[in-house]
Every structure is written in structure tokens, then in C-alpha cells.
Amino acid sequence: MKLGRSTYRFESNVTISDCFTVVGKKEGQGPLSIYFDMVIEDEYAGQKSWELAEGKLLNIAITKLVQRAGEKPDNIDLILSGDLLNQLSSSHFAARDLDIPFIGIYGACSTFALSVGLASIFVDGSFAKNVIAATSSHFCSAEKQFRYPLELGTQRPPTSQWTVTGAAAFLIKPEDSLQSPKITHFTVGRILDFGIKDPNNMGAAMAPAAFDTIMRHFSDTKRSFEYYDMIITGDLGYVGRKLLDELFKKEGIRFSSELFDCGILMFDPETQNTGAGASGCAASACVFGGYLYKLLRERTFEKILIVPTGALMSQSTALLGESIPVIAHALAIEMV
Amino acid sequence: MNIKDKKACEYQALVKANEPKTNSFKNCILAFLVGGAICDVGQAFLNLYSSFFPNDEAQVLTSITMIFLGAFLTGLGVYDKIGAFAGAGSIVPITGFANSIVSPAIEYKKEGFVFGVGSKMFLIAGPVLVYGISTSILVGLLYYLVKVFPGI
């Protein structure tokens, strides 16, 4: 059911029945290392290029998820997946041996919420019973596409963020179990552009999108900030997080619930030299799938709002001097 | 100015005020020390070669040695770490130029020797070559004109 301008409420029990996360070596050394299902130390993951390596991570996440859930691949109705690469290369590589109906989606780093949200619509509308929502990113393939060759000796500006190497897959299905977190609301963001042009400062570009979608979610659902135990943004990092605080302060809004950011939780900036924090599709997907999902199951938190943000630039749009369009989608995930 | 532009302007000012600052002073010192050290290595080679070869040959040999070292350290995956630490200190010397050619060559080798290595090798160094050579032609022309017509 649609609420307000852009929030969808799911009336049936749409649950995240299981998930699987795979991360790279650096992520496996970070503060959340013990929460991930699998760490792959080889940055090529046994493949011959970065693009194939990212595809491999995503393929592992999906196949392991299907195995662990005890499903047959034939019973999976649909995969919704996206990543950062041109033409969604790694998602397509990952899915080409799976023989499961596939829809590719692009939302840059907001892909996690987009894929899970759309999967929920398929399930809530009874069009499908078992839908996999997945996403991936890889530090090396992202550097190659968006920045410079890896071996080039450059300095990163302090605002730049570190792309997470990893993949996560979520099994969305109708379930009556009290054990599984339920997706209750999906707020679709709108494209904003506040004229930020620096591709090395994505946190600053994306903060207004997070602000807009959070405010939209509350006005659509008529919920108050106190309703959630935790509100968590995708990959704003330290710079974007601070700006989001400023935006809320300007509107005179104070938080009683905790405001977190997946890009900040992922790495330890002191020892891992990751600048302003983590970014990439896998940042929010792996932090949620690895860490928050388990906290929800243990009922440490019962109601969370996760708001992954995406900076929708390409290398050419940056060179053309265009500012960065941004978006954020929100998912309300609750133990009810 | 409409409301949208005004909001964007306000936000850009907010971003500027909250931006973490680059520590230019520290970066300058590191660049000076590392860049200087690289030049010292070059000077050591020049002194060494000067005792065996005539001066102009020793200079060419020094450049060749430094380019080799830059390329070699890039191949070993060390030069990017020096670069992250030293900034301009490792970009400005000739070793930095070698790094800017070898690093894309490594990255794009997987895309084949013709359209990968061949065409993308100058991805970073290309502009330096284009404008370097163009400028040298202009300067050469001026020099020629001044020589032919000493009156102007």
C-alpha cells in the first residue's frame, strides 16, 4: 500500500529469511571482521581480472545463500542485483551460470536498499515467493573505473572514501516466523543535486539525499524519530555524516534514537588508512547483512531504518564538469 | 536566484565549512624530503657514471637508471606506497613519470597488448607529452625567430 508521496507499506509478512556476506581481506581485518560469513584473502578471488573477481564474490554470495537456505536454484523465482561497474558487468558475470531469472538494477551505493525494496514488492504482491536481492563492489575494479590505475603513486584527499570489496545476497520471502526480520516499509528517494562536483567528496554530495529521504519517510509514515531503535545511513562516511548532522541541526531536529553510518562502521580509520570511511554498494549491504541482521535476530535492536545513499556520477560526467546527482532509499526493517 | 539555487548555494557553503583540511605544511615537508632523497640517488649515480663516462653520456645513463628504478618499483607494487606518503615528492622526479606510464600498462595488460597496454599506457602521461611537446615547439619557434631576427 502506498503511503504519502513515496513510501510503500508491505501488508504481508515480507521477511529477510537469510543472507550471506563475502568480503575481502581488508574488510576481514576491520572492526566487523567476526560478523562476515566468509573472507576471501585473494583480491583476484582466483580470477584473472578485477571485474571477474567482483563477479565471483557475488556469485559465491548468491550460491552459498541458496545452499544454506536449503533451497534448490529452481525454486528461486528471481534475482535482483546491481553493482558499480559499467553495464553492471559483475552482476551479469555472477548470474550467467545460475540459470535464474534476473533483473539488473543501478543505484550506485544505494543498490542494497533498491534491490531489497523491489524484491519486497515482488513478494508482497505475491508475484514471487523466493527472491534474491544482491549487490557487490570491489576496491580494485572501482579504482580502475572511477579513478586511476592501482599502482599510480597518488595521494588521496582527506574526503575520499575507500570502496568496500565484498558482496552480499539476501533471500526475501513470505514467512510467518518471528525469528526473521521483516521489511515493513520502503521509501523511494528522489534525485537531488546540490551542485557538488568533487567526485572525491561523495559523502558531501550524498548527505542531502539521506536527509530528504529520512524526512520523507517520517512524513509519509507519520512515524516519529523515537519509533526506531536505530537509524543508519549507507556510506556517507565521516564527512557526509557530519553534514547530515548539520542539516538536521538547521531544521532544529534532535535525535533520541541513534544515528549511525555503515561507511563509518566498516573500517578503523586509524589503523586501516581508509580516509573518510567506506563506500561502495557492499558497504551498506555487508554491514547490514553481516552485522545488523544478526543484531536484529538477537533482538538487540528491534526496529531499524536503513538509508543507503548513492552518488550517481560516471567518469565522463565528472570530466564534463557536471555536478553529482544523488539518491537515497530507505527500508524499515522490524522484528514484529 | 530561485529557492533551489539558493538552497544549493547554502549547502555548498556548509560543505566548505565542514571540509577536512589537507595538511599542506606536512605534505610539503614530506614531498621535500622524499623528492630530495630521490634526487640524491640520481646524483649518486651521476657521480658514479662520471668517473667512467664523458659527462653527457653519464647524464643520459643517470636518466635511464632512474626511469628503470621508477618502473621497477612500480612493478613491485612499492611506488604507489611511496606516492601516497610523498605526494609531489615522488611525482615530480623522472621516476614519477615512469610510474605514470608503467602503472596503466600493468592495469590494462588484461585488456590485450594492442587496445589494452598499447592504447592505455599513456592514459596519465599522455597530456604531459602532448602539452610538453607542443610547448617545446612553440619555444623552439620563438628561439629560432629571435636568432634569425636579432633586432626584435
Residue A270 has pLDDT above 90, yes or no: no
Which chain B residue has its CA at the smallest distance from A276's CA? B20
Helix ranges (DSSP H) in B23-54: 24-50
Chain B contacts of A153, Cβ < 8 Å? 74, 79-84, 86, 90-91, 96, 99, 103
* Amino acid code (one letter) for A114: L
pLDDT at B92: 86
User: Are the C-beta atoms of A29 and A162 separated by less than 8 Å?
Assistant: no
Distance from the Cα of A63 to chain B's closest Cα (Å) equals: 27
- For chain A, how big is the Rg over CA atoms in Å? 18
| pLDDT tier, B1 (very low <50, low <70, confident <90, very high otherwise) | low
Over chain A, what is the mean pLDDT?
94
User: Are the C-beta atoms of A231 and A307 separated by less than 8 Å?
Assistant: yes
Please report how many Cα atoms fall inside a 13 Å half-sphere around the Cα of residue B142, on the Cβ side: 6
Distances, alpha carbon A258 to alpha carbons A83, A218, A230, A288, B108, in Å: 29, 16, 5, 16, 45
What would the pLDDT profile of A189-239 be if each residue is shown by its tens digit? 999 999 999 999 999 999 999 999 999 999 999 998 889 999 999 999 999
User: Are the C-beta atoms of A308 and A329 separated by less than 8 Å?
Assistant: yes
Answer with the residue of higher pLDDT: A327 or A275. A327
Distance from the Cα of B26 to chain A's closest Cα (Å) equals: 13
Helix (H, G, I), strand (E, B) or coil at A192: strand
Distance from the Cα of A142 to chain B's closest Cα (Å) equals: 12
Distance from the Cα of B45 to chain A's closest Cα (Å) equals: 23
| pLDDT tier, B20 (very low <50, low <70, confident <90, very high otherwise) | confident
- Calpha distance A157→B36 (Å, rounded): 23
- Calpha distance A99→A75 (Å, rounded): 11
Which chain B residue has its CA at the smallest distance from A275's CA? B20
List all residues 6 or more positions away from A1 whose beta carbon is below 8 Å from its beta carbon.
Answer: A8, A9, A11
Helix (H, G, I), strand (E, B) or coil at B141: helix
Q: Do B8 and A152 touch (CB under 8 A)?
A: no
State the best of A139, A146, A151 to mutate against chain B, taking most chain B CBs within 10 Å: A151
Which of A322, A108, A316 minimizes the C-alpha distance to A198?
A: A322
- Calpha distance B55→B50 (Å, rounded): 6
Task: Record the pTM.
Answer: 0.93
Which of A231, A239, A201 minimizes the C-alpha distance to A326?
A: A201
- Residues A11-37 as b or e (16 or more Cβ within 10 Å = b): eebbbbbbbbbbbbebbbebebeebbb
pLDDT at A272: 92
User: Are the C-beta atoms of A11 and A186 separated by less than 8 Å?
Assistant: no
Percent of chain B with pLDDT over 90: 80
Q: Do A151 and B74 touch (CB under 8 A)?
A: yes
| pLDDT tier, A120 (very low <50, low <70, confident <90, very high otherwise) | very high
- Calpha distance A112→A83 (Å, rounded): 9
Chain A contacts of B82, Cβ < 8 Å? 153
Which chain B residue has its CA at the smallest distance from A149's CA? B104
| pLDDT tier, A256 (very low <50, low <70, confident <90, very high otherwise) | low
Chain B contacts of A203, Cβ < 8 Å? none
Vertex B108 angle, CA B104 and B110, to 5°: 150
Place of cell 630530495: B36
Distance from the Cα of B104 to chain A's closest Cα (Å) equals: 5
Strands A78-82 and A131-137 turn out to be parallel
pLDDT at A259: 84
| pLDDT tier, B5 (very low <50, low <70, confident <90, very high otherwise) | confident
Place of cell 612499492: B78
Which of A137, A161, A162 minimizes the C-alpha distance to A23?
A: A137
Q: Do B9 and A195 touch (CB under 8 A)?
A: yes
Report the first-to-last Cα separation within chain A, whole angstroms. Answer: 18
What would the pLDDT profile of A125-140 be if each residue is shown by its tens digit? 999 999 999 999 999 9
ipTM above 0.95, yes or no: no
- Calpha distance B79→A148 (Å, rounded): 14
Vertex B108 angle, CA A235 and A275, to 5°: 25
- Residues B58-83 as b or e (16 or more Cβ within 10 Å = b): beebbeebbbebbbebbeeeebbebb
Residue A94 has pLDDT above 60, yes or no: yes
Chain A contacts of B83, Cβ < 8 Å? 152-155
Place of cell 582466483: A46
Which of A290, A329, A332 minimizes the C-alpha distance to A307?
A: A329
| pLDDT tier, A160 (very low <50, low <70, confident <90, very high otherwise) | very high
Q: What is the average pLDDT across B91-95?
A: 90
- Chain centroid to CA A153: 30
Answer with the residue of higher pLDDT: A303 or B2. A303
